[in-house]
Structure 1
Amino acid sequence: MLCVNVMDFRDVSLTSLRVFRAVAEQGTFTAAAAELGYTQSAVSRQIASIERAAGAELLERRRDGARVTTAGRIVLQRATTVLDEIDAAARELTGLPARAGTVRVGWFPIAGAVLGPRALTALRRSDPALTVVTREAGTPALVRALRAGSLDLAVLALAPPFRPPDAESPALVLRTLTERSLCVAVPAADPLARGSFVDVADLRGRRWIAGSATAGDGLMGVWPGLDEKPEIAHTARDWLSKLHLVAAGCGLTTVPAVLATVAPAGVRVLPVRGGPREQRRVLLARLPQPLPEAAARVAAALHRAALDTDVAL
């Protein structure tokens, strides 16, 4: 049961509310500190302060990060409302126009490179008064931001076996925007680029450009079905950096089929045949509550952009 001393909770600072929301969205104290430009100890002090005021544990500290408790979800919902109102007041005081009809959308990086711009271009024509504020993050961070109430919609990426992106309740409303096979990006000058597909057997013994140098993420960018230890020649976090390394002849990397439309010169994005199919699914996620009209228009624009992209491919 949440027992709150009302006078104590009224003394909670805006800084504490912002820090609490950042930890809830980022999932760890360390990531929240990096986002806000604080030290980790400063973040811990702010969280301790707001928990004392609430008279309850708002975050469950776990080995893999911090999870919002039932009491924390109550505080988080109210904190998001308060912070949004404060930000709106600050805009009005500085003479900036009010953000009527604002929709907050998050997407993973590749969606922001293809689906996002297509949807925003269409919305500028159909709904010029609509303001769409976007942010880019990985799928886990986007899900936390949805739960925190700081996003209205999120475009997520899922790989098989396509489990729900989190186990929280109530379950998120998920709509599949597109599902296509994973592809391989190869240098245009490579013999593999001469055909219309790559045979999985031809991927053995190749050099790869992976997404990270860490042990946990080292195989991102490497074809999942390889039956050998891959040679990772280069690592890069950004997909565009990986594709430019491919164009320079530095190796191969895996990419969703959707990137075929925006790959730089010197790169061919090809499907892979042989072995199990490697599917990737793009989902539009939201909380299970009535969707405001403005957000519904943005969701429809993202769906149309996904359909247009599929046709283009």
Structure 2
Amino acid sequence: MSFADASLTALRVFREVAQRGTLTAAAVALGYTQSAVSRQIASLERAAGTRLLERRHDGVLLTPAGQLVLRRAATVLDQVDATARELAGLPDEHGTVRLGWFASAGAWLVPRALAELHRTHPAITVTTREGSTPALVRALRAETIDLALLAAAPPFRPPDSETPALHLQTLVERSLCVAVPEAHPLARGEFIDVADLHGQRWIAGPTSGEDRLMGVWPGLDERPEIAHTARDWLAKLRLIAAGCGITTVPAGLTGALPSGVRILPVRGGPREQRRLLLARLPKPPAEPVARLAAALRAVAIESDRRSMTG
């Protein structure tokens, strides 16, 4: 059996496993059993004559051969899908861009950038998905998204170790802030002293799976009191407005605040810088992708300017 005999089904399953990071997650996404996914991967590895995946306790890692197959599979599957659309008489989707974004970007940056792109280039269609950084990076590698908005913290390492390295563009870099209820004692000034963050009740993100404890000021020399855990930003901000706790936020979220919430910088202690990154594969982007990237950058810079002068 040669690789020319590999089935399209096996290639689709392989791309899904590469994107999801585990055979179990790929099986759920595809509606297959895990054993069916394993059989498809095994058939593809037999056709390739080498291992494509390294099975580990926390998921799978692509071998060099697997990375090569993933790049070629993405091209083949895209061409097959485009042919199927043409045969079905559907319009060509060359003007469609697939964007992935981390949670807080969806609360301010993504909607504004899409509105601006629709105003200037209404023929471009954008589809989006929310995800964690590891999930979005896998989706970029699998070429199931074209661009990804990522959040980065010091020491600002690359989001993965695969080659070729992703093309990363820093849209803005600002200090981490804290969101507090307007009636909270911390909201009386124009900044918060880091020492005053001790003993506060925090609203944090989930700690399971790929997510770290998000929402608590880094480096506090105490065990924080987590009053509420929420992934959704609207829920977090509403909890803050109700006086239920405080949380860390990117400065760009200022324009998306509900009434009853203030965002303030923190003074004292090490500076907690955060970067907003736009990531893509290291190849010349198609025109619609470049247009969306430009809209995201323009909105990010303008929002950053307003948060600094407002």
Q: What TM-score, normalized to structure 2?
A: 0.91
Q: Deviations over 1:254-310 (max 9, x none)?
A: 111111110222221111111111111011112222222222222111111111111
Q: Give the aligned CA root-mean-square deviation in angstroms.
A: 2.1
Higher mean alpha-carbon deviation, 28-37 vs 208-217, is at: 208-217
Q: Which residue of 2 aligns with 1:248?
A: 242
Inter-partner Cα distance in structure 2 for 1:195 and 1:97: 56
Q: 2:40 aligns with which of 43, 46, 53?
A: 46
Structure 2 counterparts to residues 1-313 of structure 1, below 5 A? 5-6=2-3, 8-9=5-6, 12-14=7-9, 16-214=10-208, 219-313=213-307
Inter-partner Cα distance in structure 1 for 2:118 and 2:275: 27
Change (3 A) 1:53 1:239: same
Change (3 A) 1:310 1:99: same
Inter-partner Cα distance in structure 2 for 1:108 and 1:213: 16
Q: Deviations over 1:204-260 (max 9, x none)?
A: 111111111549856321111211111111111222222222122211111111111
The answer for unaligned runs of 5 or more in structure 1 is none
Inter-partner Cα distance in structure 2 for 1:82 and 1:216: 30
* Contact 2:45–2:52 (Cα < 8 Å) also in 1: yes
Inter-partner Cα distance in structure 2 for 1:114 and 1:218: 22
* Contact 1:208–1:232 (Cα < 8 Å) also in 2: yes
Report the alpha carbon displacement of residue 149 of structure 1 after superposing the two structures with TM: 2.1
Q: Which amino acid aligns with 2:19?
A: E
* Contact 1:186–1:251 (Cα < 8 Å) also in 2: yes
**SS of corresponding position for 2:269:** coil
Q: Which amino acid aligns with 1:40?
A: Q
Change (3 A) 1:88 1:197: same
Inter-partner Cα distance in structure 1 for 2:153 and 2:212: 16
Q: What TM-score, normalized to structure 1?
A: 0.90
- What number of residue pairs does the alignment pair up? 307
Higher mean alpha-carbon deviation, 58-67 vs 30-39, is at: 30-39
Report the alpha carbon displacement of residue 194 of structure 1 after superposing the two structures with TM: 2.0
**SS of corresponding position for 1:106:** strand
Higher mean alpha-carbon deviation, 197-206 vs 26-35, is at: 26-35
* Contact 2:97–2:126 (Cα < 8 Å) also in 1: yes
Q: Deviations over 1:103-130 (max 9, x none)?
A: 2222212222222122211111211112
Q: Which amino acid aligns with 1:229?
A: R
The answer for unaligned runs of 5 or more in structure 2 is none
Report the alpha carbon displacement of residue 85 of structure 1 after superposing the two structures with TM: 3.1
* Contact 1:73–1:148 (Cα < 8 Å) also in 2: no
Higher mean alpha-carbon deviation, 174-183 vs 214-223, is at: 214-223
Report the alpha carbon displacement of residue 88 of structure 1 after superposing the two structures with TM: 3.1
Q: Deviations over 1:2-43 (max 9, x none)?
A: xx614532xx142x2222111111212232233333333332
Inter-partner Cα distance in structure 1 for 2:252 and 2:134: 21
Where do 4+ consecutive residues of structure 1 move more than 6 Å? none
| Sequence identity percentage | 68
Report the alpha carbon displacement of residue 96 of structure 1 after superposing the two structures with TM: 3.6
